[in-house]
Chains A and B, each alone.
Chain A
């Protein structure tokens, strides 16, 4: 239910709906996009970044909030940790229970390795569970992995590591097949043809989906498979420091029970970081679409142990976070809403952009429209623009919304907004960590036997990611991390366990003149006493 002042603007959207639905807005030229991004995208606000003073990326830029936790104190004092008392002893330790971690665990188990998953909340509490729109794969006759490559490479500003992107696009169809054979449901026509749509920046309709619960459907199935295989899952337990051996190989992690704070030692021949994203860091004070535990833990763990980051200075702001009502402020409104035909409309009822530009361009365009162009709609929490959802049914017929995006219908329906009849208000929300730990094409960091998969990886997508390529990367790189770690564990010989890297990093902080009370990894955001987050 909208307040009256907002209803005034909504009337203009309604008045122009038929005309706006029929029109095909022009796409921006490369030059227009570049200028727009440089002026309005949060990644380009120089005052929001600082130069790292210690670690493998010393001298490079990072957001203030990330720099603070990268250059913070450990949660442990190495001299107080007894590395002789081993609580868990495995071949492969997977840190993180999301889509990448689950895929890795399944494949490591398949390869015969003794694998264990440790996760700070429950198995499946992850951004994967919240991915709505879909997963890309070039499996239609008019499409090819090469076309997928060009779309993703261009969309990511030609910054992706070619050897990683090659794997992403060539292993995509097999990833879909693997999921389908595990029992993941996909939207299909009666003859089995996948029902696919566009995402922002795709040149072919290659977005596969399971309604708008795509990630949830994948995550609950992977979790079920992990449980069927009786792979040990140690939940409500975080990894708070990596353990290396005396030769510098990854050798396990120091764990902490999130409830009792008990410290536990996991020794492992190989370690996979699959800790996900960082939305709960609230970079530049943005709200976020991310789950509660998205605090960049893996980046901190890896960085302190000497691993290098790539593109840590770039974040994805999803163009359409909910801007109204307050209760769902910042929650994700899937891009699929636009894939199905809804357009972005300003306060005057005008379509001001093509709805399927890439996410960085769309977000910057919305910020410009609300800011410099003063065409936004004021809301109790800030400002927003219309996403004209009723267009979907004008274009595709009645019943489309309930069938294709039931989660969106439900989310707004709880607050008295029927998205079939009324448009919704949106504004960019912090959504994805484009950067992360730098890996080789076999998932390994510069630290021997330390693997990474999922959102904690940097370089698969470059400096911006296309819709549907993250659900894809967690499967492709999650699976290979599991296989590669299992293989490496066969020949790994662990030396004496060590936390000397923690001392070394502390010394570097001291030498750089950094004195701080901050401890990391952050593990969870602190929202106590706060009215707004």
Chain B
């Protein structure tokens, strides 16, 4: 007999096979998901979920697609959370300390409770990356926040009303565009292509008979 566990979906009891993820358990119970289900692999942040094990005081958060059910698990999904996303023109803003003050001033109201870090479904040091953002250290903020899937759980727990994932995204875009070193070989290659440097070679390839292309492909040198 297969091992079953007892779970509560929005308070209603279901018995599901042990070993299923929360997402699969909901489907096993009969839910046809539309909300709260995206990549099913931990990359998209669609399936933020809150749960509590009966008798345990602590409220836990997770991604439903990445978490195995446990007995006596009380589950509520959080398929949408109203994050604040400020609109800006990436071409016009600059990576200065002022830009955060202007777009996301609430980050300076952080009370240091660390609820964001404690709730991160990716185990990121959220409060630390917000501290970097406050100081205009966008490179560090970008690195610290890089694995964020923007599920919004941190923001749901924040007494200061910070939209952490949006702050981090702004920092990463500033870093990617303005702060990270420029790539000279990329600029040169784009120019070469615009100048038509490879055109003749490519056109000759496009006209070669398949047999010649096979020979070319099968004998090409592969970089070590």
A residues bordering B, Cβ < 8 Å?
27, 29-30, 121-122, 124-125, 129-130, 137-142, 144-147, 149-151, 153-154, 158, 162-163, 166, 169-171, 173-174, 176-177, 180-186, 188-194, 198, 203-205, 210-211, 213, 215-217, 220-221, 224-225, 227-228, 230, 236, 258-259, 289, 291-292, 326-328, 331-332, 406-407, 410-411, 414, 524, 526-531, 533
Contact residues in A for B68 (Cβ distance below 8 Å) = 327
Residue of B nearest to A227 (CB): B85
Residue of B nearest to A527 (CB): B27
Contact residues in B for A181 (Cβ distance below 8 Å) = 177
B218 proximal to A (CB < 8 A): yes
Residue of B nearest to A169 (CB): B202
User: Given A203-B223, A221-B173, A527-B24, are A162 and B146 neighbors across the interface (CB < 8 Å)?
Assistant: no
Whole-angstrom CA separation of A327 from B123 in the bound complex: 19
User: Given A192-B183, A407-B147, are A203 and B39 neighbors across the interface (CB < 8 Å)?
Assistant: no
Contact residues in A for B217 (Cβ distance below 8 Å) = 150-151, 153-154, 158
Residue of A nearest to B172 (CB): A185
Report whether B176 and A183 are in contact in the complex, using a CB–CB cutoff of 8 Å: yes
Report whether B24 and A158 are in contact in the complex, using a CB–CB cutoff of 8 Å: no
Which of A139, A145, A146, A224 is within 8 Å of B173, CB to CB? A224
Contact residues in A for B174 (Cβ distance below 8 Å) = 183
Whole-angstrom CA separation of A204 from B189 in the bound complex: 15
B32 proximal to A (CB < 8 A): yes
- Which one of B111-119, B153-161, B206-214 contacts A? B206-214
User: Given A166-B202, A182-B173, A529-B28, are A122 and B38 neighbors across the interface (CB < 8 Å)?
Assistant: yes
Which of B27, B43, B182 is within 8 Å of A130, CB to CB? B43
User: Given A173-B190, A198-B223, A221-B173, are A182 and B183 neighbors across the interface (CB < 8 Å)?
Assistant: no
Whole-angstrom CA separation of A150 from B210 in the bound complex: 11
Contact residues in B for A332 (Cβ distance below 8 Å) = 41
Report whether B176 and A177 are in contact in the complex, using a CB–CB cutoff of 8 Å: no
Cross-chain pairs A/B with CB under 8 angstroms, 20 sampled:
A30-B218, A129-B39, A138-B189, A145-B193, A149-B202, A150-B220, A151-B217, A153-B217, A154-B216, A180-B183, A182-B176, A192-B183, A194-B183, A217-B172, A221-B172, A236-B34, A291-B40, A331-B41, A524-B33, A528-B31
User: Given A130-B41, A158-B214, A192-B183, are A225 and B223 neighbors across the interface (CB < 8 Å)?
Assistant: no
Whole-angstrom CA separation of A182 from B180 in the bound complex: 13
- Which one of B13-21, B48-56, B70-78, B125-133 contacts A? B13-21
Report whether A292 and B39 are in contact in the complex, using a CB–CB cutoff of 8 Å: yes
A185 CB → nearest B CB, Å:
4
User: Given A124-B44, A158-B210, A332-B41, are A170 and B202 neighbors across the interface (CB < 8 Å)?
Assistant: yes
Residue of B nearest to A192 (CB): B181
Contact residues in B for A150 (Cβ distance below 8 Å) = 205, 213, 216-217, 220
Which of A122, A184, A215 is within 8 Å of B176, CB to CB? A184
Task: Give the dominant DSSP class at B's interface.
Answer: loop
Contact residues in B for A174 (Cβ distance below 8 Å) = 190, 193
Report whether B177 and A180 are in contact in the complex, using a CB–CB cutoff of 8 Å: yes
Residue of A nearest to B199 (CB): A170
B1 proximal to A (CB < 8 A): no
The 10 A-B residue pairs with the shortest CB-CB distance in the complex, in nearest-first order: A183-B173, A154-B217, A192-B181, A185-B176, A183-B177, A183-B176, A139-B189, A125-B38, A527-B27, A162-B206
User: Given A129-B44, A228-B89, are A139 and B206 neighbors across the interface (CB < 8 Å)?
Assistant: no
B175 proximal to A (CB < 8 A): yes
Contact residues in B for A162 (Cβ distance below 8 Å) = 206
Residue of B nearest to A152 (CB): B217
Interface string of B88-107 (1 = CB under 8 A from A): 11100000000000000000
Contact residues in B for A125 (Cβ distance below 8 Å) = 38-39, 44, 46
Report whether A533 and B24 are in contact in the complex, using a CB–CB cutoff of 8 Å: yes
Given contacts A140-B189, A184-B176, 5 further A-B contacts (CB under 8 A): A124-B44, A180-B177, A215-B43, A217-B172, A291-B39
A58 CB → nearest B CB, Å:
27
Report whether B181 and A228 are in contact in the complex, using a CB–CB cutoff of 8 Å: no
B110 proximal to A (CB < 8 A): no
B35 CB → nearest A CB, Å:
8
Contact residues in B for A225 (Cβ distance below 8 Å) = 90
Residue of A nearest to B207 (CB): A162
B183 CB → nearest A CB, Å:
5
Which of B34, B40, B43 is within 8 Å of A259, CB to CB? B34
Whole-angstrom CA separation of A530 from B33 in the bound complex: 13
User: Given A146-B201, A194-B186, A327-B19, are A220 and B150 neighbors across the interface (CB < 8 Å)?
Assistant: yes
Whole-angstrom CA separation of A471 from B32 in the bound complex: 30
Residue of B nearest to A523 (CB): B34
Residue of A nearest to B186 (CB): A139
Whole-angstrom CA separation of A332 from B210 in the bound complex: 33
B5 proximal to A (CB < 8 A): no
Whole-angstrom CA separation of A283 from B219 in the bound complex: 34
Contact residues in B for A171 (Cβ distance below 8 Å) = 193
B33 CB → nearest A CB, Å:
8
B9 proximal to A (CB < 8 A): no
